[in-house]
Structure 1
Amino acid sequence: MEETKRNLADVVVERIERLIVDGVLKEGQALPSERRLTEKLGVSRTALREGLKVLRARGLIETSQGKGSIVANLTVEPAQTPMMHLLSSQPRTLYDLLEVREMIEAESARLAALRGTAADHLLIKRRYEAMLAADSEDTDASTHARLDHAFHLAICEASHNPVLVHTLSFLNDLMLSSVFASVNNLYHREPHKRVIDRQHARLYNAVTGQLPEQARRAASQHIRSVRDGFSEIEQEEQRLVRSTLRLEGWS
């Protein structure tokens, strides 16, 4: 009897770990109630509690009195390392980050076009439409950035590659910084904004149209275009600084 209880607890651990890895249960998200979990997993309340105890010991969930269990912040320690601080604080690393984004997002877009389900397409469609709707509203740059990032993350999740998804999630703060920079520096420039809109449309159509190579190219071209836009802005600023210094007699 004791052996059976342990086996059922192992089932609970395995199923919930899989839901976390697959991104169905996300960091900070509350687990369903004990009643719902026992129904969904087909185990007794005793076995469920044993399984949750193991998950708590592994640091995967946190439980508080009266509030139930939530998925723990799985990347809190690495995100606070000195290297992560340097990467987020040095402007020059933005270009390195965009190279990483291009590699991750180009491949995830290709896989999303190959593997995405109807449910994935619906989620991507919702993120895309939310991003478009923000254009017709008085939306601040930070919200624009988060909507932009959510669209790209939905595509990554449709790749059904947990490692890709968790790599992107691990870099979430840095990625969001780069997207915010894109929104802040490019969105208010009408020619750049039109280019970004067209690229997002191409990416959306290729992924939901299940065209893997077109999706890969669209994602890659989008990130390269953003990088080129930053470079152009940077050069403009440098020319402005030089001409201002000459005007003020510093040359």
Structure 2
Amino acid sequence: MTTKSPPISQSIAHHLEQLILDGSLAPDQKFPSERQLSTKLGVSRSIIREALHELQGRGVVETRHGQGSFVAKIISTPEDNSPLLQLFFGHSRTLYDLFEVRAQLEGQAANLAAQRANEKDQYVITKAFNAMEVANPLTNASLDHAFHQAIVEASHNPVLVHTLSSLKKLILHSVQASVVNLSHREIFKQQIDKHHRQIYHAVISRQSEWAQKAAIAHVQHVSESLRQIEKDEQSIIRAAIEED
């Protein structure tokens, strides 16, 4: 009995899912246009349209009117009024709980990025690092986050990418807390800058264990520094992030 081959559109849908699974297409990232996908994959635009429609039906892709198709946020991001965000601003320990999670997940992401980053990933990481290096240290929270996010995406682990993407707002707030409380204190800023350089060079030079240790040390240093300031001064600044 001959096994019937699946329709071409299903094969294309499977291929696009693989790009999402290996992190080549990140959450909320826009797909290339139907014309670009058609040319790249060597099939008609109608086949591409069918494949995207199939993925949309499975909740993997979302189509935005007038904008195109995007990778769906498989793990949802907390809303501004979510209980978790309210806890973040209402209880001091939630910030440090987040740092504990960040240390482990970002450490693993740095380890994997050092092993798996391709040429494009390394370019994006380098560009993000250079932008962060030359920015005003008191206003570079978004650039700081972009550097760490570039490393996460270079891990090519979709579960890790989607998990940290779901924490984006909380992570942005934690980065902002770091920037506004530590960047104007030279001793803390020097150590943070040193950690960033270590993470960058370890990932680019493919030294995975060093990358993991540097990423963990960085997050733990920020957490311990904020704890000390909060203990000495009774409070820290927890400014909200305005998203672009």
TM class by shorter chain equals 0.7 to 0.9
Match of 2:119 in 1: 118
Closer/same/farther in 2, CA of residues 65 and 146 from structure 1, 3 Å limit: closer
Alignment of 1:97-112 (within 5 A): 97-112=98-113
Cα displacement (A) at 1:87: 4.3
Distance 1:69 1:118, change over 3 A: closer
- 2:192 matched to 1:200? no
Q: What is residue 239 of structure 2 aligned with on the other side?
A: none
Alpha-carbon shift at residue 51 of structure 1 (Å): 1.5
Larger radius of gyration: 1
What is the CA deviation profile of residues 187-217 of structure 1, one whole-angstrom value per residue up to 9, with x for unaligned ones?
1112111111111111111221222222122
- The letter of the residue matching 1:102 is A
C-alpha spacing 1:111/1:27, structure 2 compared with 1 (3 Å): closer
Q: 2:219 aligns with which of 206, 210, 223?
A: 223
Measured on the aligned residues, the alpha-carbon RMSD in Å equals: 2.4
Write the distance in 2 (CA, Å) between the matches of 1:164 and 1:224.
Answer: 19
What is the deviation of 1:170? 1.4
What amino acid is the match of 1:111? L
3-state SS of 1:50 partner: helix
The residue identity in structure 1 corresponding to 2:20 is I
How high is the sequence identity, in percent, across the aligned residues? Answer: 45
1:128 is the counterpart of 2:124: no
TM-score normalised by the chain length of structure 1: 0.81
The whole-number CA distance in structure 1 between the counterparts of 2:53 and 2:113 is 35
How many residues end up aligned between the 2 structures?
Answer: 230
Match of residue 183, structure 2, among 184, 187, 190: 187
Corresponding position: 1:154 with 2:150: yes
Q: Which is helix-richer, 1 or 2? A: 1
Q: TM-score, normalised by structure 2?
A: 0.83
Are the equivalent residues in 1 in contact too, given 2:138–2:184 (CA < 8 A)?
Answer: no
Q: Shift of the alpha carbon at 1:64?
A: 4.8
Name the structure 2 match of 1:49: 49
Alignment of 1:7-156 (within 5 A): 7-64=7-64, 66-76=66-76, 79-80=78-79, 82-89=82-89, 90-135=91-136, 141=139, 144-156=140-152
1:13, CA displacement in angstroms?
Answer: 1.4
More divergent stretch after superposition (29-38 vs 169-178): 29-38
